[in-house]
Structure 1
Amino acid sequence: MQFPERFSNLPEYAFPRLRSLLDTHAPGGEVLHMSIGEPKHPMPPFVADVMAASLSGFGQYPANDGTPDLLTAITGWIGRRYGVGLEADRVMALNGTREGLFNAALALSPETKNGARPVILMPNPFYQVYAMAALALGAEPVYVPATADTNFLPDYAALPAGVLDRVTIAYLCSPANPQGAIASADYLRDLLALAEKHDFRVFADECYSEIWRDAPPPGALEIAARTGADPERVFVFHSLSKRSNLPGLRSGFVAGGAEGIRQIRKLRAFAGAPLPLPIQAVSTAAWNDEAHVDASRALYHQKFDLADRLFADIPGYRTPEGGFFLWLPVPDGEAATLRLWKETGIRILPGAYLSRTVDGVNPGEGYVRVALVAPYDATERGLTTLRDCLYGKD
């Protein structure tokens, strides 16, 4: 029996790789998981009541695109957060952003571009679904370094014109996973101008947008509206997993041009799974409330400050501008991860598992990713132990 060759060169997903690296070794202390970005802050207080009041909805097929109440809540939030007014036909509810980031590429990337194989751009390191979307389409994934030299954001404009002319989609994550870099308004403006010049779409993965240090990150829709960009040029993806500490709800949305959303909805109608109505009800309440978001952000600020105190003297340490990961420099990320596990029981992720090797270079190889999702006391214990183990005690 044959299998598709297009996935044959993919490395194993990051977390199975991590299990293979660590699980044959006993932990060297009390186990603490700091490898996966699963928020542990309290859920919004209204979740249980809204869910209980909506249980009868499990007896009905849910609305494919999102209920009117949910779409109104989402467009209302976009208006309050970014100052952009959207009609409901420019939004669709998602089972988390991963579904949307994959399926929107299937719906919107053509089979060829200028008579050649299409290209899909992504930062390197990156969220792994970007590459899977490109390969599923038969497109060429182009991994663009997002390193300290480029402020941990991809410099797409530096690519050859011949490559840019084949691009159909450029993925961007801001705040960036894993580095925490934020794309400025100027960066987004330049990217949209590049997309207009070379006729491609920008897929802005903004699921960490509400976890920030100093100021709310600008959004791609906001800059597109401000500059008068073609609405079909930009599609943004948001989630309640990080914003509202609801990773198990699997709820988010995509917003963009009306025609593009129509195509994404059409694909969903044939091959997707809409959110159950009780989940849509909880999602509606969550997008309509900011108090729980502000409270959660305040907790992250405490952990950011803790990280700055502990790692300020580490050469190459950079304070994350947003998101909830530390991107810590080490000589060898895999060796550091294994050592930390065997000596302390703390579980982190090698940076190379989030990157691809291009021309012999893996930009994540000299880093580890550490998730600041646990409660403060556990985070303090984990970061202090990590510092002492990997960088030496004061």
Structure 2
Amino acid sequence: MNPLLSKLQPYPFERLRQLFASVTPNPALRHISLGIGEPKHATPPFIMQALSDALGTGLAGYPATAGEPALRQACAAWVERRYGLQLDAATQVLPVNGSREALFALTQTVVDPTQAGATVVSPNPFYQIYEGAALLAGATPHFVASDPARNFAPDWDSVPAEVWARTQLVFVCSPGNPTGAVMPLTEWQKLFALSDQHGFIIASDECYSEIYFRDEPPLGGLEAAAKLGRGFERLIAFTSLSKRSNVPGLRSGFVMGDAAVLKKFLLYRTYHGSAMSPVVQAASIAAWGDEAHVVDNRNLYRTKFAQVTPVLAEVLDVKLPDASFYLWAGVPAGWQGDDAAFAKALYEHEHVTVLPGSYLAREFNGSNPGRGRIRMALVAETAECLEAAERIARFVHAHPHKV
């Protein structure tokens, strides 16, 4: 077996299952889960129809790894509408089977484990694929804590020069999971300068970009590069239909950016066997071509967060995020920062699942930046999320201190 597999840590939801194993939740209450970030809003009927229509002829041949020209063009057209950028659909866009698969695969493409000290830099807390992809590529992760005092922006200045010198890949997540923070242009400028100096590639995970609460849509990595008057050298952005269009089961997204990097990525994917089904491609073309359902979906989240956030803000350290469908909340002071104990007791007393923030981060340089916080995914219907918030408030009032 691949010895690098032994370096992988248990996934957060496996740790949560173990945490709850000895608990019998309140049987008088139905279970409400705010744990998993899986969209629950209805899939738009026109996407389902496009999928159904394609079944008649869409399975008769092997799909091309690069995707059909019509899909790449639909992706490029969306980028132009969303960001005002004109991409070459043939060389700067590549369809992928969801951003998760692509984030992992790009890491295997980019990292050269024969180089001494090969390093992948990741925000902390983070999406667990970043760490797993780095480890299985033979690299060492270096974690950069998100700073609550700066809207949870990663503290890039904390990375020593000798680490940057060994860095081959940097993950950026904006809007962030779990914080919902959007990286501003000044941070992008700093990271681009470091990339120019040290030659590392930037992987910008932007799968939450279409769920936001401000008037201005979140800044994208390629958009930031254009605003700064630079090209897309060593920059790859990832986006997905899962959250935007409520189709996580479709497994469809695309990557965009540096044509030279994407050429190598396509080569890797050709051998990896990552071609997207023609049926999925047909549904994806329909989804990328329509914006009305995205506006409707965003409005559902805005209404939901407007109702739920004030209820939770009365008992937890939490505020409306920039974007995404998560609330990143601090547990009450009386719980002494024990986010796992808080989640366990909440599950026992109120049958509500939240994810301990420490499970989404790593102990690094003596601290775990997720400690003392919980992540809540407001993906269910408003009434269910509001009921969960009211139960959480009731629990905190009854248990202001650690149980």
Cα contact 2:121–2:169 (8 A) shared by 1? yes
**Change beyond 3 A, Cα 1:204–1:312:** same
The answer to whether residue 373 in structure 2 is matched with residue 367 in structure 1 is yes
| CA distance in structure 1 between the partners assigned to 2:378 and 2:316 by the alignment | 20
- Residue 147 of structure 1 deviates from its aligned partner by 3.2
- Residue 165 of structure 1 deviates from its aligned partner by 1.1
| CA distance in structure 1 between the partners assigned to 2:314 and 2:33 by the alignment | 25
Counterpart residue type for residue 385 of structure 1: R
Cα contact 1:387–1:393 (8 A) shared by 2? no
- Residue 392 of structure 1 deviates from its aligned partner by 4.7
Give the TM-score taking structure 1 as reference length.
0.95
Task: For residues 190-226 of structure 1, give each alpha carbon's deviation from its aligned partner in whole angstroms, at most 9, with x where no partner exists.
Answer: 2112211222111100000001111201110011123
The answer to whether residue 19 in structure 2 is matched with residue 21 in structure 1 is yes
Give the TM-score taking structure 2 as reference length.
0.93
Q: Quote the residue 2:61 is aligned against.
A: 60
| CA distance in structure 1 between the partners assigned to 2:118 and 2:171 by the alignment | 14
The answer to whether residue 36 in structure 2 is matched with residue 36 in structure 1 is yes
| CA distance in structure 2 between the partners assigned to 1:23 and 1:370 by the alignment | 20
Q: What CA RMSD, in Å, does the superposition of the two structures yield over aligned residues? A: 1.7
Cα contact 2:312–2:392 (8 A) shared by 1? no
Corresponding residue to 2:390 among 360, 378, 384: 384
Counterpart residue type for residue 100 of structure 2: R
**Change beyond 3 A, Cα 1:375–1:329:** same
- Residue 316 of structure 1 deviates from its aligned partner by 3.0
The answer to whether residue 274 in structure 2 is matched with residue 273 in structure 1 is yes
- Residue 104 of structure 1 deviates from its aligned partner by 0.8
Counterpart secondary structure, 1:326: strand
Counterpart residue type for residue 75 of structure 2: I
Counterpart residue type for residue 348 of structure 1: V
The answer to whether residue 311 in structure 2 is matched with residue 310 in structure 1 is yes
- Residue 315 of structure 1 deviates from its aligned partner by 5.7
- Residue 239 of structure 1 deviates from its aligned partner by 0.6
**Change beyond 3 A, Cα 1:52–1:6:** closer
Q: Which runs of 5+ in 1 are unaligned?
A: none
Q: Quote the residue 2:148 is aligned against.
A: 148
Corresponding residue to 1:101 among 93, 100, 103: 103
Q: Quote the residue 2:334 is aligned against.
A: none
Residue pairs, 1:1-394, within 5 angstroms: 3-28=1-26, 29-55=29-55, 56-88=57-89, 89-112=91-114, 116-214=116-214, 215-314=216-315, 316-330=317-331, 331-392=337-398
| CA distance in structure 1 between the partners assigned to 2:316 and 2:293 by the alignment | 36
Counterpart residue type for residue 31 of structure 2: V
Cα contact 1:171–1:203 (8 A) shared by 2? yes
Cα contact 1:181–1:321 (8 A) shared by 2? yes
Cα contact 1:157–1:194 (8 A) shared by 2? no
- Residue 63 of structure 1 deviates from its aligned partner by 2.0
Task: For residues 12-61 of structure 1, give each alpha carbon's deviation from its aligned partner in whole angstroms, at most 9, with x where no partner exists.
Answer: 11111111211442221211121001111121220221112100212321
Task: For residues 336-367 of structure 1, give each alpha carbon's deviation from its aligned partner in whole angstroms, at most 9, with x where no partner exists.
Answer: 11111111111111111111111332111211
- Residue 65 of structure 1 deviates from its aligned partner by 1.2
Question: Matched residue pairs, number?
Answer: 390
Q: Which runs of 5+ in 2 are unaligned?
A: 332-336
**Change beyond 3 A, Cα 1:44–1:208:** same
Counterpart residue type for residue 60 of structure 1: G
| CA distance in structure 2 between the partners assigned to 1:376 and 1:303 by the alignment | 5
Task: For residues 313-343 of structure 1, give each alpha carbon's deviation from its aligned partner in whole angstroms, at most 9, with x where no partner exists.
Answer: 4463232110001111113111111111111
| CA distance in structure 1 between the partners assigned to 2:202 and 2:395 by the alignment | 41
Counterpart residue type for residue 324 of structure 1: F
Counterpart residue type for residue 118 of structure 1: A
Deviates more, 1:309-318 or 1:56-65: 309-318
Counterpart secondary structure, 2:343: helix
| CA distance in structure 2 between the partners assigned to 1:68 and 1:343 by the alignment | 54
| CA distance in structure 2 between the partners assigned to 1:43 and 1:51 by the alignment | 12
Counterpart residue type for residue 30 of structure 2: E
| CA distance in structure 2 between the partners assigned to 1:90 and 1:337 by the alignment | 43
Percent identity between the aligned chains? 40
